[in-house]
Amino acid sequence: MNQPATDTPAMETLDTGEDADHVLSVRDVTVGFGSKIILQDLDLDVRRGEVLGFVGGSGTGKSVLMRTILGLTPKRTGAISVFGHDLSRANQKERKAIERRWGVLFQQGALFSSLSVKQNIQVPMREHLNLSPQLMDELASLKLELVGLPQDAADKLPSELSGGMVKRASLARALALDPDLVFLDEPTSGLDPIGAAAFDSLIANLSSTLGLTVYMVTHDLDSLHSICDRIAVLGKKRVLAIGTLDDMTKNDDPWIKSYFRGERALRRI
């Protein structure tokens, strides 16, 4: 089963330019650490404009997959294409252009603790754009408004914010460059149910008004019910199933069954 390490694309549609239907395609991707294989021959397609919820048992590799797509964890085999470009074939300039079109909200927010909220939002702008300080301040102010934070949050440090405000500030940073695609790693974890519901509706609104594609790792059944167009389930080192919530409730895989039809799921009804 183990193929030799290669960066040869596994499908012909890679590098043929922008795909009208899919913003992200993963083909035959294998990732491991030492002798431990986490993902094997994994395939995934994310459709343009959808909110895709990614679930799976703890330790199945949801964060590893997201980090692999982002290029932070190396893959052993397979191909990943974003916006129609094979990432492993892109040169540094092309790679930077692709990265400009995605935003990331890491678990726990991952804001720089010594920078103010405004400076955090401006980090991607400094990295990718050449703008005057005044224009960057105006853009940061717009992003604060977009995510529902008050303007006086701009000069606060992350340690001075509530958990919900940290998530919003991290989302503002993820949206700094007006991305087409955002990756969210457990965006509602640690929020109370009201804060989580408010964050969900913010994501849904941004997705529909900005035409964003959202790739969201989550354990939150409420988010899956309220904002996801499709759900992908990770298990057995691959995507076990992908489809609507209705598809999931009809699936007979034991893990999917207990997740979507178990006691906790039924309590929602």
Residues at the contact surface with ligand ATP, assessed by CB under 6 A: 33, 38, 56, 58-64
Q: List beta partners, residue 55.
A: 233
CB of 42 vs ligand ATP, minimal distance in Å: 12
CB of 226 vs ligand ATP, minimal distance in Å: 20
CB of 227 vs ligand ATP, minimal distance in Å: 19
Taking the least distance from each CB to ligand ATP, the nearer of 14 and 217 is 217
CB of 235 vs ligand ATP, minimal distance in Å: 10
CB of 33 vs ligand ATP, minimal distance in Å: 3
